[in-house]
Copies of this chain bind each other. A is one copy, B any other.
Amino acid sequence: MCRSIFLAFDWKNSVVFSHHSDTGMSPKITGELLRQLRQAMKNCKYFSEPIQAYIVPSGDAHQSEYIAPCDCRREFICGFNGSAGTAIVTEQHAALWTDGRYFLQASQQMDNNWTLMKMGLKETPSQEDWLISILPENSKVGVDPWIIAADQWKNMSKALTSAGHSLVAVQDNLIDVVWMDRPERPSTQLRTLGLEYTGMSWQDKITALRTKMTERKVTWFVATALDEIAWLFNLRGADIEYNPVFFAYAIVGMNTIRLFVDLKRLSDPALRDHLQLDSPSKPELSIHTYPYESVYTELQAICAAHSPKDKVWICDKASCALTQVIPKAHRTPIPYTPLCLAKAVKNESEIQGMKMAHIKDAVALCELFAWLEKEIPKGTVTEMSAADKAEELRSQQKEFVGLSFPTISSVGPNGAIIHYRPLPETNRTLSMNEVYLIDSGAQYVDGTTDVTRTVHFGTPSAFEKECFTYVLKGHIAVSAAIFPNGTKGHLLDSFARAALWESGLDYLHGTGHGVGCFLNVHEGPCGISYKTFADEPLEAGMIVSDEPGYYEDGSFGIRIENVVLVVPAQPKYNYRNRGSLTFEPLTLVPIQVKMMNTEMLTQKEREWVNEYHRKCREVIGAELERQGRKEALEWLMRETQPVV
């Protein structure tokens, strides 16, 4: 497994929702590898002239947040396995750029062939400036055009060109050339999803996409994001851990559908039937399948046969290689594809599925907390064993597929490390004296979950309760907010912080991210963050997380996270007939009253807590009863007593 971590969609390079990776504590020995790579940089088999530098970005050819082991090339060459980082190797130097979350980890994982470039520090040069300062005149800098995004290519190329160098696309990846035991690209079994889960056939999704294309006078759409392709065809895979996606591309025209995927995966008769590969109902809904690798030549052929008026939609974060196949005049780059937008607004079946998934997930978590209460006094439960128990309990639930991200299970000071993940060398024992934070989630066939609870099994300090209550106030302020249709999520972010700010506190991550339905736990194009990235307005049916926090370095961490559904609200008035929206919590796990300073809550906030707990009782109580999980039910009833 490549232990890449994730950052919320579009929040790359910021301290937001990162889940930490394993840190192998001894550095990787890279001398011989670098020698081989430098050899390859001079080897004319791969290009007409030698290159003087080679850039190794993170990531795969699909803008994936998590990547498959075969794509962990930057980790392979330098040893550093954090989620964010770019390695650059020249004839003399090797340097890695990463951000503040990873300074320590990177310095531990890399040997002294590597220079750590600490991004965000004033004295650290940018990759462009560094290259320009050390390269001989007229140098060529190589990069795999499949791994670098079109917009990144553009910036790097511009900077290098203006200094007399050039950026060149090296078609064969030079890391792969020296990576002897590189894993195969995964090709897991594909799973078809019926209408009961998806609510919309892939045929109808194609038709809706074509309607959007017609509206915008676009004749071709190139899909490169794996979750969009999985969503479009109502298929799921297991090629990337935590993300039920599969490696593929798709090109949709007004009369044709091309799917690029390892063809061996298409032998299953049920799958062939689902995609109507052998007997398409209509010619324009007939899927033509091609090998994964042939997307480049097919797109080339399509573009060659172009009429001058044909416009091609491609995400501006797609790979440089695929983007540049499309002649510039025909290219219509978009920050979010129509599939990304359509996928974000869940239909009735998806909402129903997400609700079911969250009920099952809450059952498992109620059981976990009841079990922890019993076991912790024995002193045998650790961060890692608690995480394992959570997974075990989730796996007992119907249609469980796997986790949706690595569980953050953290006690005391570990809780203050936002992207913490327990490792043998950091593993703490849960006790009656420290705050416990668990941020976890799962993939079920009917939906994806992501929930954080912060609890104390003994007596929390007044300060811990005070901070918890500020965070709770923020959580409620977002969850109960009523706002006009068309409001962008970033306008709600300050609601989550107001109570903390009033006391001089804050947290340095966003407040919420979009959540997929049996898809990626982080998805665009909506979110709630102080960073005003180009988020799309919230609309009914969208699903986001609401997760303010507070982190006291060296002491404890607090985060309260629900997944919430955007629903219409019916306030007293309706200004300009715009309509209003609010949130409905899908997560139904009690929020620990013991951690609250209830005197700090307003009457409205107390009512929100009581109504939330009433709903937990009603919905999760019934399910616990049905599943005969008595201890958890008792725990739930006790934890959901009204506050006064």
Contacts and interface: CB of A to CB of B under 8 A. Distances in A.
Contacts of A505: 573, 575
A456 B505 CA distance: 41
Interface string A467-486: 00000000000000111100
Given A482-B501, A501-B580, A575 B491 contact: no
Contacts of A495: 494, 498
B530 A501 contact: no
Contacts of A490: 532
Nearest to A329: B162
B501 A484 contact: yes
A49 B609 CA distance: 75
A576 B505 CA distance: 9
Nearest to A490: B532
Interface string A563-574: 000000101111
Contact of A484 (B506, B532, B572, B575): B506
Contacts of A481: 498, 501
A424 interface: no
B484 A571 contact: no
A492 interface: yes
Contacts of A491: 493-494, 530
Query: In the assembly, how many copies of this chain are there?
Result: 2
A123 interface: no
Contacts of A493: 491
A375 B165 CA distance: 78
Interface in A492-514: 492-495, 498, 501-506
Contacts of A530: 491
A503 B578 CA distance: 13
Contact of A573 (B482, B504, B571): B504
A575 B504 contact: yes
Contacts of A501: 481-484, 571, 580
Contacts of A574: 504
Contacts of A572: 503-504
Nearest to A570: B504
Nearest to A579: B504
A214 to B, nearest CB: 16
A498 B574 CA distance: 15
Nearest to A580: B504
Contact of A504 (B482, B492, B498): B482
Contacts of A492: 494
Nearest to A502: B482
B575 A506 contact: yes
A101 B572 CA distance: 28
Interface in A546-581: 569, 571-576, 578, 580
A504 B575 CA distance: 6
A492 B530 CA distance: 11
A580 B503 CA distance: 9
Contacts of A573: 503-505
Interface string A504-526: 11100000000000000000000
Nearest to A574: B504
Interface in A445-490: 481-484, 490
A292 B264 CA distance: 76
A511 to B, nearest CB: 12
A494 B492 CA distance: 7
Contacts of A504: 482, 484, 569, 571-575, 580
A524 to B, nearest CB: 17
A532 B532 CA distance: 7
A482 B502 CA distance: 5
A578 B508 CA distance: 12
A503 B574 CA distance: 8
Contacts of A580: 501, 504
A172 B30 CA distance: 67
A501 B582 CA distance: 10
A578 B502 CA distance: 13
A571 B502 CA distance: 7
A530 B484 CA distance: 13
Interface in A277-323: none
A505 B483 CA distance: 9
Nearest to A552: B575
A466 to B, nearest CB: 9
A481 B571 CA distance: 25
A249 to B, nearest CB: 30
Given A482-B504, A484-B501, A504-B580, 5 more contacts: A482-B501, A483-B494, A491-B530, A504-B569, A506-B578
26 contacts: A481-B501, A482-B502, A482-B504, A483-B494, A484-B501, A484-B504, A490-B532, A491-B493, A491-B494, A492-B494, A494-B494, A501-B571, A501-B580, A502-B571, A503-B571, A503-B572, A503-B573, A504-B571, A504-B573, A504-B574, A504-B575, A505-B573, A505-B575, A506-B576, A506-B578, A532-B532
Q: Please list the 6 inter-chain residue pairs (A to B) with the smallest Cβ-Cβ separation, ordered nearest first.
A: A504-B571, A504-B573, A532-B532, A503-B572, A505-B575, A491-B494
